[in-house]
Amino acid sequence: MRLSKEKKSGILGLALVFPSFLLLLGVVIIPIIYSIQESLQNGQGGYDLSHYVALFTDEVMQSNIWYTLKVTIVSTILVLAISYGVALLLRFSNGAAAIWIRRLYLIPMFVPGVIATYAIISMYGNHGWLARICALLGMESFPMIIFDFKGLILANLWFNIPFSTMLLASALGGIPNSIIESAKDTGAGKWQLFFRFIVPLSYKTLLVAATFVFMGVIGSFTAPYLIGPNSPQVLGVAMHQVFSVYQETAQASALAVFMFLLCSAMGYFYIRTMAKDAKAEAGRTGQ
């Protein structure tokens, strides 16, 4: 029995996808299922929600959750605001500042996280370079910059601004100059041009950047572990402590599942927004 051309193409497509599916199954799907199963196990050999209840009733874990959300939201807002401003500068300016930023802003992406965190400690620590310079200038005390909330925000800006700027600069670069010039010819001011043309044409990429920054910050470990406070802690560091220090694997799994649900909620919001836009665009095209 000879197969038709369509069936051969379908079998070939499945054969090409199957190795990727196996990799996804072994690396992502099975560990998630195992973590969910382990998080539901209790000390008596049964299954219940006791570990999830502990996440929201324990005062220490409550403070860790709120602290993580605070760090994530503030970092995401600041990263997007700064990155969008830099991307606008790169798109609409040809001055010396734009030229130098264009040459240098991607450098932090090629610096390993551990090295970058050590550089932040060496620069902004109580005995770092900045503190020594201030001491030479006559300052008796140096304010604490790292090992607290400000230090984590600083580290998140360093790690996320280059990537977000690259995404947003690419989106702004795709806006045709003819649209900008036409808007100016019709009398549109700078703010009208920004809110009515630039933002609507780049907000999809802005949403993509927000999604990546949110997931990257909420799951970060290296910088919070090295320059974050001892209490409260971000969830990644708290999960490591629960697993390695207290040896509570089921509680750590529950914490991991909770972090996965937070990222999934952000991913669902992104996918739903993109689906609505695609549906609306298809409807306009059909009309």
> With b meaning 16 or more CB within 10 Å and e meaning fewer, what string describes 236-261?
bbbbbebbeeeebebbbbbbbbbbee
**Segments in the chain forming alpha helices (H):** 5-24, 30-39, 50-57, 59-92, 96-104, 113-124, 129-136, 149-173, 177-185, 190-193, 199-218, 222-227, 235-244, 249-286
Asked if residue 225 is part of any domain, the answer here is yes
Mean pLDDT of all residues belonging to the chain: 87
Question: Looking at the domain assignment, is residue 123 inside a domain?
Answer: no
Residue at 281 is within a domain = yes
Query: How would residue 189 be classed by pLDDT, with cut points 50, 70 and 90?
Result: confident
Q: Report helix angle 149-173 to 113-124, nearest 10.
A: 120
Stretch 222-246: mean pLDDT, rounded?
A: 89
Distance CA 228, CA 239 (A): 14
Q: For 41, list phi and psi in degrees, rounded to 5.
A: -80, 140
222 contacts 117 by C-beta, under 8 angstroms: yes
Question: Residue 69 falls within a domain, yes or no?
Answer: yes
Quick one: pLDDT at residue 162?
Answer: 94
Is pLDDT of 36 > 80? yes
Number of structural domains in the chain: 1
| 28 domain-assigned | no
Q: How confident is the model at residue 47 (pLDDT cuts 50, 70, 90)?
A: confident
Would 131 be classed as within a structural domain?
Answer: no
User: Is 89 a residue whose pLDDT tops 60?
Assistant: yes
What CATH number should be reported for the domain holding residue 268? 1.10.3720.10
Q: What is the pLDDT confidence band of residue 76, given thresholds at 50, 70 and 90?
A: very high
Using CA atoms, how far apart are residues 156 and 151, in angstroms rounded to an integer? 9
pLDDT of residue 130: 86
The letter for the amino acid at 219 is: G
Q: What is the pLDDT of residue 126?
A: 81
pLDDT of 2 higher than 70: no
Tell if the pTM clears 0.75, that is, is over it: yes
Residue 62: the pLDDT is: 92
162 beta partners:
none
Domain presence at residue 134: no
The range of the structural domain enclosing residue 225 comes to: 59-113+148-286
Within-domain flag for 187: yes
Query: What gap in Å lies between CA 267 and CA 273, rounded to an integer?
Result: 10
Position 80 scores a pLDDT of: 95
pLDDT > 70? residue 4: no
